[in-house]
Every structure is written in C-alpha cells, then in structure tokens.
A and B are shown apart, each in its own frame.
Chain A
Amino acid sequence: MTGLRKSFGRTCALDGLDLSVASGEVHGFLGPNGSGKTTTIRILLGLIRADAGTVRLLGGDPWREATTLHRRLAYVPGDVTLWPNLSGGEVIDLLGRLRGGLDDKRRAVLLERFELDPAKKSRAYSKGNRQKVALVAALASGADLLILDEPTSGLDPLMEATFRACVEEERRHGRTVLLSSHILSEVEALCDRVTIIRAGRMVETGALADLRHLARTSIRAELARPPSGLDGLAGVHDLDVVGTRVQCQVDNAVLDEVLRRLTEAGVRSLVSQPPTLEELFLRQYSDGAAP
C-alpha cells in the first residue's frame, strides 16, 4: 500500500502511510498506541475504505474483492470479543467453517499447546483466553496470510513462548504473517522485516538486521571509581556521569567495549534495558530534526 490516508471526522488516522509485506515473510508492524496500526489492518480487511492511496492485498483490492481475498487470510483482532453464550470450541469451529473448513488434528494440537478449555462459555473466558480462541481459530485455518493485531496482549509469558513457536512454524510452512505490536522485543524475536509507524506515517522500514542501528541498550551503573574513557567513545549517547554514577545509551556494537571500561572502574550495580519503543521514537525524532 502506498500513500494511504484515512480520517475519522477531524482526526487524521493515516497520513500517507506506505507499507509493503513480501510473501512468505513475517513482517513486524510497530508503532505506539494510536499510531494507526489497527486502522491500517481494518483497511486491509476491507472493513473500512481508505480516503486516498492504493492498496493491494494478495494481488487484489481488499475493499472490492473482500470475500475472495478472505478465503486466503485469517485475522486475530487486538481486542477479541466473542459471543458470550457460545463456547470457545464452538467459536473456533464456526470461524473455521466460515473460512471453508479447518484441520481437526491441528485444532486439537493447538488447543493442547495453548492449554485452552474449549467447553467453557465465552462469557467465562479471561481476556487472554479469548485471545487464545481467536489465535487457535486463525492458526488452525491454514490460510496463506495471517493478520495478527497485537496478538499477545493478555497472554502470559509461557503462552507468549507458545505463540512464538507457532509463528515460527507458520514461517517454515511458507506463510506470510503481518504482526502488529507495540513491543519491540516481540518483533525482534519473530520478524524478518519491520515497518515502524508513528502518527499515521511510516518512519522506518527494512530488514531487522538493517535496523540494528536502532537497537541500543540503556545502561545505569554505580561504580567504585569515576569512570574514564567513556567520553570520546563512538556509539555512546546521552552520557551522564555524576560522581560514580553513570547513565548512558549504548549502540549494541560497542556494548562489549563499554562494559570493559565500566568493569575497569569497578561495578557495584548495573541495570541494562533494551530501549522502549517510545525512546526509539524520541531518537528517531531528534535524529530527523538534526542537520
């Protein structure tokens, strides 16, 4: 899709968004909350129509050819609501049949892996369990394209691992996955390529390896002696030294060197964190503004 625009009343949700996903790849679709991820997905599903721009999905127009295209895709919404008086198993079967049948063996395996009780009424499911119902229905469908909108929100860490393993399998079977998320680590673990959007515009796209320059680690350390030699080092940003306390952002490429110099000064405590998406955007923003 190129130059996609969509406004709701006076709020502009998409402002000339470009996004391209190659077949067979797992594509991360990153952006903070409210950046237009769900709107983009709803356009891809033909639920809403873009005001301007061109969209091709699996070689067709998602608005006009919705029903034919939907034979080849499966979708998991970000906030799954189900029919309160249908059981999870009934919902999975129904969605599978609407898509033209589902693989019973795969359904059983997935139910077991996600530890989901299919006989419970949807009303009694927690958010995570509703998410699982939609995930099992989508993963058991054997569709060419999976569109997943923040699929792990509400899943516990164990289930997140199961989910990652499942997406890994889908990739091996040559399926295409569009994975929207606001969690960088999730996308890093799963995706071949990434598109980052902000306020309805694409800010960065490419193979994850190319985006490594974005990946920095933020370090906070308490040392025995004031450190030396951090100042001039390339790849160290926002350095802040107060006595024996050090705070800085480090490009992963020079992480090793920085740690060596810190240990030379005697490390008393050390906290290191991957940068949050917001920090990334902050950087993106200031980098763009600088000449």
Chain B
Amino acid sequence: MTAVAAPARAAGRNGTSSLTGTGELARLALRRDRYFLPAWLYILTAVIASTAYSFKGLYPTGPERAALAASLRGNPSMTALAGPVYGDSLGALTMWKVGLAAAVGAALMGIFTVIRHTRADEEAGRLELVGSTVLGRQAALAASLVVAFGACLALAVLIAVAMILLGFPTAGALAVGAAIGLTGAVFASVAAVTAQLSDSARGSRGIAGAVLGLAYLLRTVGDAGSGLSWLTWASPVGWAELLRPFADERWWVAALSLVACGALTAAACLLSARRDLGAGLLPSRPGRPRAPGWLRSPSALAWQLQRASLLWWTFGFAATGAVLGASAKGIGAALNSAQARDFIIRLGGHSGLIDAYFAALILMLGVTAAAYGVAAALRPRIEESEQRAELVLATPAGRIRWVAGHLVIAAAGPAVLLGAAGLTAGLAYGLRTGDVGSQLPRLLGAALAQVPAAWLMAGVAVAEFGLAPRMAASAGWTVLGVIALLTLVGPTLRLPQWVMDISPFTHLPRLPGGSFTAAPLVWLAGVALVLAAVGLVGLRRRDLG
C-alpha cells in the first residue's frame, strides 16, 4: 500500500517495450485469482450442464419438446426475458433457458477480472509497487486482458466439452461455448476501456456494468416482438443468441464479437498510453475545502456515500420501466399460430398475456432491487473491513447510529427503485393505450408489491453482518444468487413446490393480473424486521475490525 519512490519506475522504461513484464504480471494475477476464476468457471459450466441434463429428463421426447417450444414462442414475456427459442432440440432449449444468463455471468467475470487487475490495483497503489520494477507501460492492461481472455476461452472449452460429453452435437456444443465465452471477452474489453475513463475502481465497474445492463435491455426490447428486432443486433449480449447454437449455427456472428474485442482493446491501449498513472480520462472534480452543513451525523455520511449509486440505480430502473411499458402494447400482435392463440386464451385473452409479460418482468426487477438492498446493507461491512468505520466509531456516534443510515437506505432503496420502474412503466404503457388513469396505479402497485421480498433479502444480509461479519459479503451474495436462480429459473425446471417456497418471491401475489393478498407482504416484512434486529444485536456484541 505504501508509495514507492518514482525514480525507480523511470529507470525501467529505458530499453524496454511497453509490454515488458506482462508475463510476470499475468502469472501474479492468476495466482491471486486461483480461487476466484475457477469458481466462476465451475459455476457457469455447471449451470449449462445441469440445465441440459435436467431438460433431458424433463422433456425426453420430440413431441413434448415441440409443445414446450411452441408455448414458449407464444409467450413474448419469456422471449423478452431469455431470448427467442430457435429450435425444439434439447440443445436449443438449453441455450434458450440459461444461455443468456450464462453469457451475462461470463460478462461479469470479464469485467471483474479486468478491473481487479487494472484500476483497482492502481487505486490501491499496488500497481505503483510492481511498476517500480522493470515493467512496460501497458503491461498491467495487457496482463489483465490475457487473464480475462484466457478465462473466457477456458470457459468456452469447458462448456463445449461438457455438452459433448452429455451427448449433444459437436457443432452446437462448440457454438454454445463460443457464444458465452465471446460475450465474456467483449465485456472484458469494455472494462479495459472503462478502467481508463474513471479514476476509481468503483466508477470503472459501474460504467462497465451500465453498458452490460444497457446491452441486455436493448436485446430485451429487440426480442419482445415489438418490431424493433434490429436492437438485438446492436447488443453484444444479443450476439450470443444470434449465433443460434443447436439451431443452424450462424458462425459469422462470432466475427462481430471478435471485431468488437479488437476495436475495444485497441481503444483501451490508446487511452492508457495517453494518461498518467492514477489519473482517469473523465475529469475528477476537486473537493470542497469545507464540509456542507448537513454532513454532521453518521447517517448523513451514509447518505453521502450511497446517494450516487442510488441515483444511478433509480435512473436504470426508471429507464427499464419506461422501455418495458412502451414496448408492451406490441406484444402478441405478431402471434397467429394456433398454439399461441391457445396460450393466450388460457391466460385470459390478450390483456392476460400482457399482464403475464409485466408480471414476469416485474419479478425480475424485484430480484434486482433485492440485489441493491443487499449491496446497501453490506456497505457498513466494507466500511468496517477498510478501517474507515473506526474513525467514526472513535467519536461519540455509537454502533447503532453508525449503521442506521445505511439500513434506512437498504430499506428505502428497493422501494424507490421499484416505485420508479412501476411509475415509468405505468406512464409509458398508459400513454400508449390512452389509459394512464388505471394503468399507472396498477403497475406501480404491482412493482411495489415486490418490496417486502427485497427487504427480506436485505435483512438476511444485515443478520450476517451482525453475526458473521467475515463471511457476510460472500454469504450475502451467495444466498441472493441462489434465490435469484430459484426464482427465475425454477419454474421451467419444474422444481417441487417446497423448493420454490424457499424463495420469498414465490410467496408474493402475481401482479398485475393475479389476486392481491396483503398477508404474505406483511409477514415477509415482519421476518425482514426480525432479521435486521438480530443483526443489530449481534453488531452490538461483537468485535469490530
């Protein structure tokens, strides 16, 4: 962490190329990631392989699969969520079910890996330490990309091998691996660029994450049957499905990803060569010499630390809501197959179809809002482990007052996010249908009904923070990941009801369209409150640091 004298670094530049030391740095990165990367590779491969395996058992015959594919094609909300179904083979169905989720997972792996070994190291001063040895200017960037691209390649190979071992056609197996691995590589390159833009790791990750979110949103709208299918082509996440694994593979789509990787990597190198160590290209504003008058309590500090992130999340939710609301009316217009009509009639007519579409997407937003709640609730743990908490706790503030602000944000945040999405979705859909007066409260209410489940997830994180701080972050995110997978993937895997009941989201009323009952909302909120209280009691009793 300590600064290292600058002259030593200057000496290293004489007679060395800008890539000198890349190999050593890449080995160092692999050593530091020796648990992180294998865990990602294992989980992503296992998700694909286990889904393929379970589909084999669930839909063994051709006609069963054809019926499933037909019903899925007739359901635009499913298509919007997970992409179009390109065929009724086991492989195509597997790709439809988890292909995009795994692609997004690979993208996150790429983003985290690159930022971790570039901007995060730079910010912590570690890069300065290794930079004082003989090291080229671009070595850290190059090493992080070597590791990230290597991980994506390994992922592609692992997935392809797993699918071939499960007895799937070789071409399709290779295509699934390529689709997922390439998405990871494209977003690793995106992160290489964003690492040059912002001067903080948090900012760099945030911008790269926003690009990923936007890409997913673009293909959601493109696939939703609203006549804007070109949007899918504009999205790097969309390329994963457009490669069409197991359904007459379109190999040339892979070239799009490769070109994007090359262009982004070149851009990152250019940007990196033009800036100083530690600086970002986006201007970092000078600070204020005095604190504003309101910054005078631990809660005010919590707000100061979390407000920017809440603002961006709210903006993202509002934009997503608007896009979903505006695109909903076109849904089902393109449906004229017999199965699709059947499906619509079973759902209760055209309005039932749109309600199902909204309900599915609002559920996804609910899970995402829960992720925000968990992140906000775990913020004090970051303050604690990075030793900023002791500065506050050495004042008369007290432990409960120290966390109170963060907990209020963790509770209010999901409500704000879902409220924003519900509001814009209701407004946009209402304007399209000329019925703002009834659509707005309906969709706003449906979105807000998700809040108690998000609270419960945040409550779990608070309890872990109070009782087992060292595991809180990993345990908090693992629990959320399992619940998210259960909630979003569970229904198609036909999991038994008691397994589905583990997820708090299962207990929520299906809105809009379903019947509203207040009881589950009340007890979910109650359990969340108890968990938070347990966490606070634990926090008062334990050692800090």
Contact = CB atoms under 8 A, between A and B. Distances in A.
Interface of A: 42, 45-49, 66-68, 70-71, 73-75, 77, 79-95, 97-100, 118-124, 126-127, 134, 147, 154
B289 A70 contact: no
Q: Ordered nearest first, which 9 A-B pairs have the shortest CB separation?
A: A87-B287, A93-B291, A75-B394, A98-B395, A48-B543, A90-B291, A97-B296, A89-B289, A67-B398
A77 B386 CA distance: 12
Nearest to A84: B200
B386 A94 contact: no
Interface in B277-295: 278, 284-292, 295
A47 B393 contact: yes
A47 B123 contact: no
A81 B387 CA distance: 6
A49 B387 contact: no
Contact of B543 (A49, A93, A122): A49
Contacts of B390: 42, 45, 47, 75, 77
Contact of B395 (A84, A93, A99): A99
A95 B3 contact: no
B245 to A, nearest CB: 43
Contact of B287 (A47, A79, A119): A119
A123 to B, nearest CB: 7
15 contacts: A45-B390, A48-B543, A49-B543, A70-B396, A77-B390, A81-B386, A86-B291, A88-B287, A89-B290, A90-B288, A90-B295, A92-B291, A93-B295, A97-B291, A119-B287
B305 A98 contact: no
B386 A89 contact: no
B380 to A, nearest CB: 13
Contacts of B391: 75, 77, 80, 82, 91, 95, 134
B297 interface: yes
A46 B393 CA distance: 9
Contacts of B398: 66-67
A37 to B, nearest CB: 14
Interface string B1-18: 111000000000000000
B296 A127 contact: no
A71 B394 CA distance: 9
B298 A86 contact: no
B397 A67 contact: yes
Nearest to B397: A98
B396 A98 contact: yes
B305 A83 contact: yes
Give the secondary structure class of B's interface.
loop
Given A83-B304, A84-B200, 9 more contacts: A47-B545, A49-B543, A70-B397, A75-B394, A89-B287, A90-B287, A94-B295, A98-B396, A127-B1
Contacts of A45: 390, 393-394
The listed residue with most B CB atoms (<10 A of its CB), out of A68, A82, A85, is A85
A100 B297 CA distance: 10
B199 interface: yes
A157 B39 CA distance: 48
- Residue from A48, A68, A83, A122 whose CB has the most chain B CB atoms within 10 Å: A83
Nearest to B279: A124
A24 B391 CA distance: 24
Interface of B: 1-3, 123, 199-200, 278, 284-292, 295-298, 301, 304-305, 386-388, 390-398, 543-545
B545 A127 contact: no
A127 B3 contact: yes
Contacts of B543: 47-49
A250 to B, nearest CB: 35
Contacts of B278: 124
Contacts of B284: 121, 123-124
B545 A118 contact: no
Contacts of A99: 395-396
Contacts of A66: 393, 398
Contacts of B305: 83
A130 to B, nearest CB: 11
A139 to B, nearest CB: 14
B288 A119 contact: yes
Contacts of B3: 126-127
A98 B296 contact: yes
A79 B387 contact: yes
A42 B398 CA distance: 15
A175 B322 CA distance: 61
B2 A48 contact: no
Contact of B304 (A74, A86, A92): A86
Nearest to A72: B396
A234 to B, nearest CB: 44
A193 to B, nearest CB: 23
Contact of B396 (A48, A67, A85, A122): A67
B522 to A, nearest CB: 35
Nearest to A46: B393
A135 B266 CA distance: 45
Contacts of A48: 543-545
Nearest to B199: A123
A75 B369 CA distance: 38
Given A82-B388, A123-B199, A100 B396 contact: yes
B383 to A, nearest CB: 9
A118 B289 CA distance: 5
A154 B128 CA distance: 16
Nearest to A111: B289
B195 to A, nearest CB: 15
B393 A121 contact: no
Given A47-B545, A94-B295, A94-B301, A73 B288 contact: no
Contacts of B1: 79, 127
A70 B394 CA distance: 6
- The listed residue with most B CB atoms (<10 A of its CB), out of A49, A67, A79, is A67
B6 to A, nearest CB: 12
A121 B287 contact: yes
Nearest to B388: A81
Nearest to A154: B2
B287 A98 contact: no
B396 A89 contact: no
Contacts of B289: 87, 89, 118-119
Contacts of A88: 287
- Which of A42, A47, A92, A98 has the largest count of B CB atoms less than 10 A from its CB? A98
A168 B344 CA distance: 83
Nearest to A49: B543
Contact of B2 (A85, A89, A97, A127): A127
B394 A74 contact: yes
Specify which of B199, B386, B394 lies most central, judged by the most chain A CB atoms within 10 Å of its CB.
B394
A71 B398 CA distance: 11
Given A81-B387, A83-B305, A86-B304, A42 B287 contact: no
Nearest to A82: B388
Given A47-B545, A77-B391, A98-B297, A120 B287 contact: yes
Nearest to B383: A83
A100 B394 CA distance: 13
A77 B395 CA distance: 13
Contacts of A67: 396-398
